[in-house]
Structure 1
């Protein structure tokens, strides 16, 4: 346990020096801020850009539009930035050979993987919920019909999908010494999930639902059996990937 704590402390200090925490915080804060702002003022902006002879009929935006923007921006911006920042989470140690020195000093390989995983999950957790809280605050400010009812489940669904992608990234980092191949591993996982979703049986259990049905769940204000199945499969795979990462890293040649 001491080895885990010491290595995790080293990781935190290193990410602070590299300004990754700062970059992550800024990006997620901007996404949280822009989601309600773009929903509120986009119709006004479009009207100002369109010629007077052209009429565009736009419905008044609601708080639902704000959260649609949040889910979209998180999928297309926030998660991608997170993966880009932490894709080389093990590659530098491989290049420098510092892992060999740590292991020979008594640090267990399991502690290394768990510390790396803890850092990934912690960064995602803090940044994501901070971004969501900012969106909630500004949505409540700009939209009089805003309500928090039924909001937690779609938010938690997307959060869970993010954890799954980070578990895939961790496995990719353990398997490959490159800084970019783990990122490609995540991309391949997402592509396979989309292709497999065509099959009805797989669709019913596909964790991809956690990232694609958020607006639907928010509107309905409740989940269903398919979402529960996807959630269970997601956490089962996530735990399995972390365990597999530990098993592989124990046997991997890090010299």
Structure 2
């Protein structure tokens, strides 16, 4: 356990040196603030865009606060997922290419501990960035649009955090399986897109798919419900995450270094 915390602290320090602890949360905060602010000032933005008849009045119904936060989650489902993937695409492949992984694993460090330390660091940064960004979105929504219930906010935050955990774990696994960080990012993004499309096209066959998490998070934000279906999707998502971690360990065990 002491070895795990040493490696985990090393990962956190490395992310600090790479400024990930600064720019990743800032991007999430910017995305979180963008949706309520844009929604509130949308009539003025359209009016200032020009090409409007003289005397035209733009009236856009003000959405509910829960709808604005649900739209914020859609922003994270594109740019947020991209940021997470690009941030961790080289988390294992980079050290395997340089031979650093082989040097570390020569010491009494298990493959499982090595992978879990990187996975935990990914989870820590993702959780902090998303929570900060979503909280900022809640703050501006309450000020500009209207009060939002705390119950729906926290439920949607937890559900969507599981989705980001799934995407981050998929990126770590791709980084363990592939030599190229770009290939790992492309694989993770492609698999995420295919999962989302398949879940949308085959809702009955993919009833428990992790791809349902994004929709369930938005639904929970608007209704505050967390039903049996949500629990089943969450449970299956954790099982798949555990399997991906095991695959990462096996891939690293087979060849710690990718040096020629």
TM-score calculated relative to the size of structure 1: 0.90
* TM alignment of 1:7-26, pairs within 5 A: 7-26=7-26
Whether the 8 Å CA contact 1:193–1:208 is kept in 2: the answer is yes
Whether the 8 Å CA contact 1:167–1:242 is kept in 2: the answer is yes
- When the two chains are superposed, the root-mean-square deviation of aligned CA atoms in Å is 2.0
Distance 1:62 1:8 in 2: 41
TM-score calculated relative to the size of structure 2: 0.89
Matched residue, 1:61: 63
Distance 1:29 1:222 in 2: 26
Distance 2:98 2:218 in 1: 45
Distance 1:204 1:71 in 2: 20
Distance 1:191 1:72 in 2: 14
Distance 2:211 2:64 in 1: 26
Matched residue, 1:70: 72
Distance 1:57 1:140 in 2: 21
Offset at residue 173 of structure 1 (A): 1.1
Segment of structure 1 superposing worse, 124-133 or 73-82: 73-82
Matched residue, 2:255: 252
Q: Are the structure 2 counterparts of residues 116 and 80 from structure 1 closer, same or farther at C-alpha, using a change threshold of 3 Å?
A: same
Offset at residue 25 of structure 1 (A): 1.8
Distance 1:26 1:74 in 2: 13
Q: Deviations over 1:80-138 (max 9, x none)?
A: 11211211112221222112221223222222101110111111111111111111122
Match of 1:226 among 215, 225, 229: 229
Report the 3-state secondary structure (helix = DSSP H, G, I; strand = E; otherwise coil) of the residue aligned with 2:72. helix
- The unaligned stretches of length 5 or more in structure 2 are none
Matched residue, 2:4: 4
- 1:173 and 2:175 equivalent? yes
Whether the 8 Å CA contact 1:90–1:177 is kept in 2: the answer is no
Aligned residues: 255
Q: Are the structure 2 counterparts of residues 226 and 43 from structure 1 closer, same or farther at C-alpha, using a change threshold of 3 Å?
A: farther
- The unaligned stretches of length 5 or more in structure 1 are none
Distance 2:203 2:150 in 1: 33
